[in-house]
Structure 1
Amino acid sequence: MIEFIGTSKQYRLDKKIIKALDHIDLKVNKGDIFGVIGFSGAGKSTLIRTVNLLETPTEGKVIVDGKDLTTLSKRQLREEKKNIGMIFQHFNLLSSKTVFDNVAMPLTLSGVNKREIEKRVNEVLKFVGLESKTTAYIDQLSGGQKQRVGIARALVTNPKILLCDEATSALDPQTTKSILELLKRVNIEYNITILIITHEMEVIREICNRVAVMENGQIIETGNVLEIFSAPKTKTTRDFVQSVVRDEIPQSIYEQLQVANPNERIFKLKFIGVDVGQPIVSEVVKKFSVDINVLFGNITELQKIPFGNLIIEIVGADTETEKVVQFIKNRNVQIEEVLANGCKPRNYSGSDLGNPIYG
């Protein structure tokens, strides 16, 4: 549906060349709610603005619904843009006009007749829950209502694609949740492909099925949401994941535990799907001559699949701890040794405890 092929964008600042996008290769499939996340300056807003050519790539292709937009004439591009709706962080609404007039604007500019405009505007305002606000002015609305107007305006032309540029970052958490629920309905009921740009991993967790992580104008990691949350490969991705799925305890705690009991080892376990219900800790205590101390645990849900984290302290002989790790590995649970800063892993014969172990 949307494909970036070697897409780059450069700016000249004084005598310097700034690479906002650096040879991006990325594909968004039809029906996706695809999230692109990154810190400020990563290039994500530039990326989304190339989809409707608000930013023209310096090189490479941007293919939308099978057409390379960079090769189209102005007239052809105007027609294609009707299939691409966009909502913005700060709404981009006209305060001097009513809700109805703001939503109707794309149709008015396209010369659609008044009867059709009235019918279509009323349809989308009802869909976003603002049918009672048609004559209200923008300044009379809350932030969430303004964003609903923005969504209605983007939907009024019956687009195939909806671009969301930090669409919830100016909203409070409760309003953000309601807007994300509305976007899910847009995706399902209108069969619209959604591309979301955000710096909030909570948004990715709540709504997206696939995600790409950007840094310095490049895609550094991509995959489905469950893959990214359960096994992030880069530090940047891990930092984003840990902002919503807490799976760490303070380093000072690790160090105190090692001083208090030199025979202890600390491990992080990850459970996915039905594995969340496994009574791992009780089984280990029954089968092996070790003591288990649960330091941290939580369960979240990703794409309706449960995902759990557990950090445990194992106290016992090296050989017995090695058996425990192998037992957990055989139960199809990810296990990774956790070390305090400056501490080196013990040498366990026949095992690789410093690396993630997958069943």
Structure 2
Amino acid sequence: MIELKNVSKVFESGEKQVTAVQDVNLTVEKGDIYGVIGFSGAGKSTLLRCVNLLEKPTTGKVVVNGRDLTAISSTKLREARKKISMVFQHFNLLESKKVYDNIAFPLRLAGEDKPTIKNRVDQLLEFVGLSEQAEKYPDQLSGGQKQRVGIARALATSPDILLCDEATSALDPQTTASILELLKRINREYKITILIITHEMQVIRDVCQKVAVMENGKIIEQGSIFDVFSNPQTKTAQNFVSSVMNDRIPKSILHLLENDSRHIYRVTFVGDSTGYPLLSQVAKRFHVEVNVLHGQITELQDIPFGNLIIELQGKEDEIRRAQLYINQSVQLQEVLADAN
């Protein structure tokens, strides 16, 4: 569906050159909800705009639906863009136009007749839950309602791909959740491929199936949500994951590590193992005390995922036996003083 091959984008300012995107390779399969996350200045928004060639890559190829957009004429590019819509952070609505006319705008540009426009706009107003707001102006709407108008407008031309540039960054958490549910519904019911750019890891966790992490214009890590969240490989990814998974070890626990005789471990549970009373069994089978110090169980792509910090107390040989037993079922990793 979307394939970026060795894409780079260099901006020139006088005698200076700024590389916003550097040698990026990325594949988004048909039907994916794919997230790209990074801090401000990572190059993610520039990367997104390369997909529909609002920013033409300096080098590399952008292949959409099997067609290299960097190698076609401007006329064919305009046609290709009709199947690639965008949703913006600050809505980009026409303030002088009513909700109905904002949604109808791309259809009028496409030369559709009035009955077709009315049917499509009415359908989309109902889909995004704004049928009663059709005659209102944008300044009469809440932020969430404005974004729903922006999404409806983006869907007007029945695109194959929806590009979302920080689409929830201007919204409160409750409204963000409702917009993410709407995006999942769009993906499910309209079979639209969605590429989301964000700096909010919770957005990635709640809606995406795959994720790429950007830093300094490069993709430094990518994979399924479960793989990246359960075992982030880079420091940047680890920081993002920690921001939503609450897996940082509290200072009060790190303080315990100053005593060399403490045996403190991180235990990672995945899937069915979260429902098995493993730690209870450890306490029964071995002469050790199990002290749960910190942790939580959440879900990643409907798969239970648990992360606990525990302390084992007892004789050294019994602790070693308990470690071996735990490692047969779940991941056990000793927590060191520099764990954070």
**In which range does the TM-score fall when normalised by the shorter chain?**
over 0.9
**1:196-275 map, 5 Å:** 196-256=196-256, 258-259=258-259, 262-275=260-273
Task: Pick from 308, 311, 330 the counterpart of residue 310 of structure 1.
Answer: 308
- Describe the SS at the equivalent of 2:93: coil
Secondary structure at the residue paired with 2:244? coil
Q: Which amino acid aligns with 1:338?
A: V
Q: Which runs of 5+ in 2 are unaligned?
A: none
Which amino acid is 2:293 matched to?
Answer: L
* Cα distance between partner residues in 2 of 1:58 and 1:225: 30
Q: Describe the superposition over 1:94-124 as per-residue Cα deviations: whole angstroms up to 9, x where unpaired.
A: 1100001111111111211112111111111
Aligned in 2, Cα 1:342/1:193: closer, same or farther, shift over 3 Å? closer
Following the alignment from structure 1 to structure 2, what is the Cα–Cα distance between the partners of residues 89 and 247? 29
Shift of 1:297: 2.0
CA contact (8 A) 2:89 2:170 kept: yes
Aligned to 2:176, the other structure's residue is in SS state helix
The residue type paired with residue 89 of structure 1 is Q
Q: Closer, same or farther in 2 for the Cα pair 1:106/1:211, shift >3 Å?
A: same
TM-score (norm: length of structure 1): 0.92
Which secondary structure does the structure 2 equivalent of 1:243 belong to?
A: helix
Q: CA RMSD in A?
A: 1.4
Residue 326 (structure 1) aligned with residue 324 (structure 2): yes
Contact in 1 for aligned 2:33/2:208 (Cα 8 Å) = yes
SS in 2 for 1:180: helix
The residue aligned with 1:161 is 161
Matched residue type, 2:277: P
Q: Partners of 2:333 and 2:20 in 1: how far apart?
A: 36
The ranges of structure 1 where at least 4 consecutive aligned residues each deviate by more than 6 angstroms after the TM superposition are none
**SS of equivalent to 2:49:** helix
Tell me how far 1:252 sits from its aligned partner.
Answer: 4.4
Structure 2: distance between partners of 1:20 and 1:220: 14
The separation in 1 between residues aligned to 2:97 and 2:339, in whole angstroms, is 62
Does structure 1 retain, via aligned residues, the 8 Å contact 2:257–2:336? no
The answer to whether the 8 Å contact 1:270/1:307 transfers is yes
Q: CA deviation at 1:320?
A: 2.6
Secondary structure at the aligned position of 2:119 is classed as: helix
Distance in structure 2 (CA, Å) of the matches to 1:184 and 1:245: 21
Corresponding residue of 1:283: 281
Q: Which secondary structure state, in structure 2, belongs to the residue aligned with residue 101 of structure 1? A: helix
Alignment partners' CA distance in 1, 2:9 and 2:318? 56
Kept in 2, the 8 Å contact 1:36–1:212? The answer is: yes
What are the residue-to-residue correspondences of 1:1-359 with 2, within 5 Å? 1-256=1-256, 258-259=258-259, 262-331=260-329, 333-341=330-338
Contact 1:165 1:198 in 2 (8 A): yes
CA–CA separation in structure 1 for the residues paired with 2:339 and 2:200: 31
Gap runs ≥5 in structure 1: 344-359
Are the aligned partners of 1:31 and 1:191 in contact in 2 as well (CA < 8 Å)?
Answer: yes
CA distance in 1, matches of 2:50, 2:339: 45
2:295 aligned partner, one-letter code: G
Q: How many pairs were matched up?
A: 340
The separation in 1 between residues aligned to 2:114 and 2:185, in whole angstroms, is 27
Bigger Cα displacement from structure 2, 299-308 vs 168-177: 299-308
Q: SS at the partner of 1:264?
A: coil
Q: Is the 8 A contact 1:251 1:340 kept in 2?
A: no
Do the aligned residues in 2 keep the contact of 1:32 with 1:193 (CA within 8 Å)? yes
Counterpart contact for 1:263–1:316, Cα < 8 Å: no
Per the TM alignment, residue 328 of structure 1 is displaced from its structure 2 partner at its CA by: 1.0
For 1:347, the equivalent position in structure 2 comes to: none
Instruction: Give 1:342 shift.
Output: 9.4
Alpha carbons 2:39, 2:215 under 8 Å: kept: yes
| Equivalent-residue separation in structure 2 for 1:110 and 1:208 (angstroms) | 31
